[in-house]
């Protein structure tokens, strides 16, 4: 109700200023005033291609530096369509290293991974904050090692070191993502997301499956994950500025 | 990146790999229970892998991790008699692991069975499931000549 009343006042103001402008034979002063008012009234609308952004995951790097058993160091790029739809690609290096708690088993792999997908901004377009939901399809092709230097037959008592190196593995999975992103300064944004991952298909060696899948996490049917991102977001100009050009003609 | 949190260990609970043996009557094909005492030893180890079982109808026997064949000595003895049969099982071995936290073990595939029965107490040995793994399905059947089948 209040908004409708305000709009009415502004419309009257526009008419008055417009007639004043006519009397003043479209003087520069009036033209500028008109432009300012119109700028205040026109709802910002993002361009079709309204920006591009690249991001780096800080948490993966932190986990790697902290010596975590596994870490996904990743970055990504996405296009912005009307600040609502964000087709994207993500790639990174996954590293998993694990030793058995009560035995001498050891697992290790380091390999690249890839994801493609789409985010949707549930927040207001052109706002400083984005509320994102999306989906990813991820895959990784990798080699993994499994060793046990003290592999012993408990009945016959024979010990032979086990060294299963460079076993072929691959995995495909889906990720469902929710996250937030906010503007810090200029083109610098900070964001985080939480991901529910569901493994679709995997190929493992005849001896056993990998303990960790690069880009996915610990190898199980489903898995939780997430990222904390530093985002460099370059936006194109909003459509309303184009309208000024039209108005100024 | 990954969520940091509690980490469970998902190892198979029933993780015993054993050769499952069933004892049968050669004439009727029915399962039997040996009323005598049965002890099983294996070549290459001092361990008794089945000790003094009575009324035995099924056996679960370990297999060697690295050998191409396991030779089992089945010694049956009563009050004033004893006899011994030898069964040799040819096999291949495949390492199996689930996780660094779980025990690594060996699966086997039976390729063939031969036997020596001096007193002809064993009629035949049949492989019914070659894969020896966590499943508790019967791998081989030993058909004994029993008193009933001799009549």
Q: Measured between alpha carbons, how far apart are the two ends of chain A, in Å? A: 34
Chain A: nearest CA to B100, how far in angstroms? 4
Inter-chain contact B1–A102, Cβ cutoff 8 Å?
Answer: no
B chain contacts of residue A160, beta-carbon cutoff 8 Å: 65-66
How many other CB atoms sit within 10 Å of the CB of residue A139? 18
pLDDT at position B18: 94
Name the residue of chain A whose CA is nearest to B95's CA: A207
pLDDT at position A12: 61
Q: Please tell me if residue A75 touches chain B, with a CB cutoff of 8 Å.
A: no
HSE at residue A155, side-chain half, CA atoms within 13 A, is: 22
Q: Please tell me if residue B2 touches chain A, with a CB cutoff of 8 Å.
A: yes
Q: Pick from B2, B47, B99: which is nearest to A155 by CB?
A: B47
Closest CA to B96 of B16, B7, B42: B16
pLDDT at position A6: 53
Confidence of residue A245 (pLDDT cuts 50, 70, 90): very low
Inter-chain contact B104–A211, Cβ cutoff 8 Å?
Answer: no
Confidence of residue B7 (pLDDT cuts 50, 70, 90): low
Give mean pLDDT, residues B131-146.
Answer: 92
Name the residue of chain B whose CA is nearest to A102's CA: B101
H or E element, residue A10: helix A2-23
Report domain extents, chain A.
2-41, 49-235
How many other CB atoms sit within 10 Å of the CB of residue A111? 20
Q: How far apart are CA B22 and CA B32, in angstroms?
A: 9
Total domains present in chain B: 1
Q: Distance between alpha carbon A73 and the CA centroid of its chain, in Å?
A: 13
Q: How far apart are CA B114 and CA B122, in angstroms?
A: 11
Over the stretch A11-37, which tens digit does the pLDDT of each residue have? 665 565 555 555 555 567 767 777 777
pLDDT higher than threshold 90 for residue A222 = yes
% of chain A beyond a pLDDT of 70: 80
Q: Pick from B45, B49, B100: which is nearest to A105 by CB?
A: B100
Inter-chain contact A164–B10, Cβ cutoff 8 Å?
Answer: no
Chain A: nearest CA to B102, how far in angstroms? 7
Over the stretch A102-150, which tens digit does the pLDDT of each residue have? 889 999 999 999 999 999 999 888 778 899 999 999 999 999 999 999 9
B chain contacts of residue A100, beta-carbon cutoff 8 Å: 99-102
Chain A: nearest CA to B21, how far in angstroms? 18
More confident residue, B144 or A30: B144
Inter-chain contact B42–A162, Cβ cutoff 8 Å?
Answer: no
ipTM above 0.90, yes or no: no
Domain assignment present for residue B8? The answer is: no
Token digits of residue A2: 């209040």
pLDDT at position A32: 76
What range defines the domain where residue B35 resides? Answer: 19-150
Inter-chain contact B10–A209, Cβ cutoff 8 Å?
Answer: no
pLDDT higher than threshold 60 for residue A193 = yes
Closest CA to A219 of A240, A192, A198, A195: A198
Bridge-based pairing state of the strands B140-144 and B19-25: parallel
Domain assignment present for residue B13? The answer is: no
Chain B: nearest CA to A100, how far in angstroms? 4
Bridge-based pairing state of the strands A188-203 and A222-235: antiparallel
pLDDT higher than threshold 60 for residue B151 = no
Domain A49-235 has CATH 3.30.56.10: no
Chain B: nearest CA to A37, how far in angstroms? 48
Q: Which of B100, B105, B106, B133 to mutate to test the interface with A (most CBs of A within 10 A)?
A: B100
Kindly write down the DSSP assignment for every residue of A120-168, as one continuous string.
Answer: EE-S-TTSSEEEEEEEEEEEEEEEEEEEETT-B-TTT--B--EEEEEEE
Q: Pick from A63, A107, A158: which is nearest to B66 by CB?
A: A158
pLDDT at position B34: 87
Name the residue of chain A whose CA is nearest to B16's CA: A154
pLDDT at position B14: 81
């Amino acid at each position: 109700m209040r908004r409708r009343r305000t709009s009415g006042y502004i419309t009257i103001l526009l008419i008055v200023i417009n007639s004043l402008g006519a009397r003043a034979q479209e003087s520069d002063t009036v033209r500028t005033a008109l432009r300012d008012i119109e700028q205040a009234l026109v709802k910002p609308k993002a361009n079709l291609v309204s920006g591009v952004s690249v991001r780096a995951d800080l948490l993966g790097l932190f986990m790697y530096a902290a010596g975590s058993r596994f870490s996904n160091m990743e970055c990504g790029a996405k296009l912005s369509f009307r600040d609502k739809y964000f087709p994207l690609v993500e790639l990174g290096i996954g590293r998993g290293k694990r030793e058995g708690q009560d035995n001498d088993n050891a697992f290790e792999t380091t390999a690249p991974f890839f994801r493609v997908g789409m985010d949707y901004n549930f927040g207001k377009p052109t706002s400083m904050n984005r509320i994102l939901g999306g989906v990813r399809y991820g895959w990784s092709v990798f080699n993994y090692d499994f060793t046990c230097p003290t592999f012993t037959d408990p009945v016959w008592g024979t010990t032979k070191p086990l060294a299963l190196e460079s076993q072929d593995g691959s995995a495909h999975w889906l990720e469902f993502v929710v996250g937030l992103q906010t503007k810090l300064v200029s083109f610098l944004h900070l964001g985080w997301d939480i991901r529910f991952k569901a493994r679709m298909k995997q190929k493992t060696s005849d001896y056993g499956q990998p303990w960790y899948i690069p880009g996915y996490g610990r190898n199980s049917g489903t898995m939780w994950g997430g990222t904390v991102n530093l985002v460099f977001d370059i936006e194109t100009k909003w459509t309303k500025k184009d309208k000024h050009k039209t108005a100024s003609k | 990146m990954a969520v940091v949190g509690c980490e469970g260990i998902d190892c198979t609970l029933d993780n015993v790999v054993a050769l499952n043996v069933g004892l049968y009557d050669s004439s009727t094909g029915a399962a039997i229970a040996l009323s005598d005492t049965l002890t099983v030893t294996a070549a290459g180890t001092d361990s008794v892998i089945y000790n003094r079982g009575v009324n035995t109808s099924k056996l679960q026997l370990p297999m060697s991790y690295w050998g191409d064949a396991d030779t089992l000595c089945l010694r049956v003895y009563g009050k004033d008699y004893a006899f011994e049969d030898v069964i040799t099982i040819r096999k291949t071995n495949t390492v199996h692991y689930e996780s660094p936290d779980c025990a690594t073990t060996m699966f086997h595939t039976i390729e063939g069975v031969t036997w020596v029965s001096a007193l002809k107490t064993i009629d035949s040995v049949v492989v019914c499931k070659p894969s020896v793994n966590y499943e508790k399905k019967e791998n081989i059947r030993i058909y004994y000549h029993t008193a009933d089948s001799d009549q």
